[in-house]
Structure 1
Amino acid sequence: MAPKKNYTPHQMCLAMEAVRKGDSYSAAAEKYGVPRMTLRNKVTGKSPAVCHMGPPTILSMNEEAILKEWLFAMAERHCPIGKEQLLDSVQLIIKSANRKNPFTNDRPGRKWFDLFLKRHPEISERVSQNLTTSRESVKQEHMVKWFADVEKYLEENNLPEVLKDPTRIFNTDESAFFLNPKLDRVLVKRGEKNIYSTSGNEKENLTVLLTANAAGQLAPPMIVFSYERIPRAIAESIPENWGIGRSENGWMCGSTFYEYVTNILYPWLVQNNTKFPIIFFLDGHASHLTKHLSDFCREKQIEVIALYPNSTHLLQPMDVSVFRPLNLFWRQETRK
């Protein structure tokens, strides 16, 4: 018996199409890595043309095709989607459809991810070329190219006129505020080697997300806590129109960012009679984008564009002008 070949339905479809266009069975089978006799049987009708190998997938072929196109579209906008963001999106699809599945908390793991890539060989998992380990590696030519790419994208999508209206250009960013920040340099007896200070859990933090436009208008912020249940005293101390979220570690995640854009930012834009479409610049490396959020932004004419990676100290207005001095004042106040 000939050894069993591992192939995907997509490979078989390509091989069948090649035979119908004139290729021989042997040539098509070798080119696409499928069994020659199985290919012949499917083309001649002796066996079903579509035969799923192994257990059925949790998502339909159409749903996976939509996810694939979303991955490619976001990469074109310099917002490449990683494994965790993809799994977050699949989890939301499963939960919204109330679909039975074998996953823990409706979220697929590494096995599903590997099989998804195998089913779609046109998708490649790579390290983003733009992500560097040091901010010093960001060069002027990289920045110039980024500006040129964004300008070209806006022109191709009939958006250059948005840049003429500062009330339609938005920037968002987030920052962690540690409840027990590390101390700066301290004064001790000369020769002391082991200097300790007691300041509680230095990793305990909350996250603040801010959004503003180029005209200087500040949208309601969002604060993310690490509490399992946010204490009433804290919730009541926060302004009514601000957003409150929670996550296990106090960091922003896909679900909290979705809640912010849909329940806080968009209603504020409508209330302030903002003209759409708008441009929404953010840090692409930590944007927490999901398929659901991308669909919402497309429907509401919110054009998401990622800033050049590792350049927030140069390009991110919220980081340079707001969070940098705010973090300094925060550390001073927490010491007091």
Structure 2
Amino acid sequence: MNLLRKMPPKLKYSEEQMSLALNAVKQGMPVATAAKTFKVPRTTLLDKKTGRTPINRKMGPPSVLSLLEEEILVNWIFLMTQKHQPTKEQVLDSVQLIIKQEKRKSPFTDGRPGKKWFASFLKRNPQVTSRIAQNLTPARESVTEEKLRRWFQEIHEYLRSENLLDVTKDPTRVFNADESAFFLQPKGEKVLAKKGAKSIYIAGTNDDKENLTVLVTANGQGDFAPPMIIFKYERIPAHIAAGVNKEWGLGRSETGWMCGSTFFEYITNVFVPWLDRNTITRPILLFIDGHVSHMTYNLSQYCKQNQIEIIALYPNSTHLIQPMDVAVFKLLKTYWKKSCKTISH
């Protein structure tokens, strides 16, 4: 009679699964239930609970972020869902900034993880999969009155829970920031021509597709903070930098558009110093465009320390509820076109 029992297959599990199981046990869940729920070995979980084996378990090659760092990142994502819709790009921007600030070695190009890392991150943290993978249609037609009213209600409830409703009653403490492209060669104006003429031209330059990105910030009282101009340069030419107001922000990016790092620079080097100089009462609210991925974990921490509550407007609704887009940029671009025309002549 064969008394040897066949050993069960070794159960594969992630460090995150074990961490979640341990937390559940600490909160009163039975070891057997936690092991089954999070799919980890019961005996291993019991050993870690009693201290017979170390809690941290290395599995495979070392990860870029520690278990604690990933846990912090997950908690940040959950927090952002109350004010934003966290995107893949925001998560990758956050990891990239952590790697650069810590001067940490990584296998990623320029310290920025890619699809493979992101997929593994979701597997290690299945509780965030559905929220992160959620996509919103870019069609403006999808924005309805019902959706906007629901968004207003959700933000109202969030502000109430954070004791921030009183801030909305003070226009000096409610800010809106938005960015827009200003073309160096704006589109041609309407001109007079003979009826039936097929080709009408206006003098232009080779810069018809080149543009500057300008970030403008103001509060409900109409006070404007210094803006930021983003150039598509690896290094901003000295003569350009010298011609810009010293209080303004100057940034650069590969695309010429605002990104996570340039927005962080604006908030830390331009906006907060302006708030301090003007003795603006904190906390404040800062509403930004809902579809732009400027928010990172690093910025969230900095804003928390400086009592700045950043909230994203409902995506694809800037033509309806974005103050800068509705009331400022249209007039500003009208004068920009006139100035460009005057200079070109």
The answer on 1:157 being equivalent to 2:187 is no
Partner of 1:85: 90
Letter in 2 for 1:215: Q
Letter in 1 for 2:333: N
Letter in 1 for 2:287: F
The answer on 1:235 being equivalent to 2:241 is yes
CA displacement at 1:81 relative to structure 2: 1.8
Query: What is the SS of the residue equivalent to 2:273?
Result: helix
Q: 1 CA distance for matches of 2:62 and 2:182?
A: 45
The answer on 1:136 being equivalent to 2:135 is no
CA displacement at 1:139 relative to structure 2: 1.7
Query: What is the SS of the residue equivalent to 1:222?
Result: strand
Partner of 2:173: 168
Partner of 2:4: none
- Alpha-carbon spacing, 1:32–1:149, altered in 2? closer, same or farther (3 Å): closer
Partner of 2:133: 126
Structure 2: 5+ residue stretches without partners: 1-6
- Residue 118 of structure 2: which of 104, 113, 121 is its match? 113
Q: 2 CA distance for matches of 1:280 and 1:91?
A: 24
The answer on 1:279 being equivalent to 2:288 is no
1:226-265 correspondence to structure 2 within 5 Å: 226-265=232-271
Q: 2 CA distance for matches of 1:81 and 1:61?
A: 20
Q: What does the per-residue CA deviation read over 1:63-89, in whole Å, with 9 as the maximum and x for residues that have no partner?
A: 111111001101111x12211211111
CA displacement at 1:4 relative to structure 2: 6.5
1:1-336 correspondence to structure 2 within 5 Å: 6-12=12-18, 32-33=38-39, 39-40=42-43, 43=46, 50-77=56-83, 79-124=84-129, 125-128=132-135, 131-183=136-188, 190=196, 192=198, 199-335=205-341, 336=344
TM-score, length-scaled by structure 2: 0.84
- Conserved? CA contact 1:279–1:305, under 8 Å: yes
Q: 2 CA distance for matches of 1:287 and 1:160?
A: 26
CA displacement at 1:226 relative to structure 2: 0.7
Q: What does the per-residue CA deviation read over 1:257-300, in whole Å, with 9 as the maximum and x for residues that have no partner?
A: 00101110000001001000011111121151111111011110
Q: What does the per-residue CA deviation read over 1:75-115, in whole Å, with 9 as the maximum and x for residues that have no partner?
A: 111x1221121111111111111222222212222221111
Letter in 2 for 1:235: A
TM-score, length-scaled by structure 1: 0.86
Structure 1: 5+ residue stretches without partners: none
| Bigger mean CA deviation after superposition, 100-109 or 288-297 | 100-109
Letter in 2 for 1:57: S
- Conserved? CA contact 2:35–2:45, under 8 Å: no
Number of residue equivalences: 327
- Alpha-carbon spacing, 1:235–1:23, altered in 2? closer, same or farther (3 Å): closer
Q: 2 CA distance for matches of 1:192 and 1:257?
A: 45
Q: 1 CA distance for matches of 2:133 and 2:184?
A: 36
Query: What is the SS of the residue equivalent to 2:230?
Result: strand
Letter in 1 for 2:124: R
CA displacement at 1:202 relative to structure 2: 3.8
Q: 1 CA distance for matches of 2:142 and 2:9?
A: 50
The percentage of counterpart residues that share the same residue type is 50
- Conserved? CA contact 1:42–1:48, under 8 Å: no
